[in-house]
Amino acid sequence: MKRLAKIFGAIAGIAAVIWAMRDRFISVAISREPQPPSFRVPAPAEEAPVDVIDGIGPVFARRLSEAGIPTVSRLAQASPDAVAEAAGVSAARARSWIEQASGRV
């Protein structure tokens, strides 16, 4: 009976050590090679809506769209006066938006 208890104790001890080190065994089995990064491809500038420009939210985007300037490429081609009038903003702000749009096209 003592012999059986010793064998059972040894097996239980080995199982406890393996259980305690299971994370280490698993991490060795997993490849240490990092995953390649996945890049998000932005929509082409011709199709991007104007609200991707900093400072243009849903309200200004709606106003510009109603005035015939729904995309970044159209915004880049528009005059500052037309954009300012359509959105109801200053000409300086309109020029800033147009510069940003020109950088995206």
Count how many domains the chain has.
Answer: 2
Say whether pLDDT at 64 is over 70.
yes
Q: Tell me the pTM.
A: 0.57
**Residue 21 in domain:** yes
Contacts of residue 67, defined as CB under 8 A and 6 or more positions apart, other chains included, come to 82, 85, 86, 87
Q: What is the pLDDT of residues 25-60, one digit of tens each?
A: 665 555 666 777 777 766 664 588 999 999 999 999
Same domain, 28 and 69: no
**Cα distances (Å, whole numbers) of residue 23 to 10, 20, 26, 27, 37:** 22, 8, 5, 6, 25
**Residue 12 in domain:** yes
> What 8-state DSSP symbol labels residue 89?
-
> Considering the chain, what is the average pLDDT of its residues?
84
**Residue 64 in domain:** yes
| Structural domain harbouring 1 | 1-32
CB atoms under 10 Å from CB of 84, counted, come to 19
**Residue 37 in domain:** no
**Residue 7 in domain:** yes
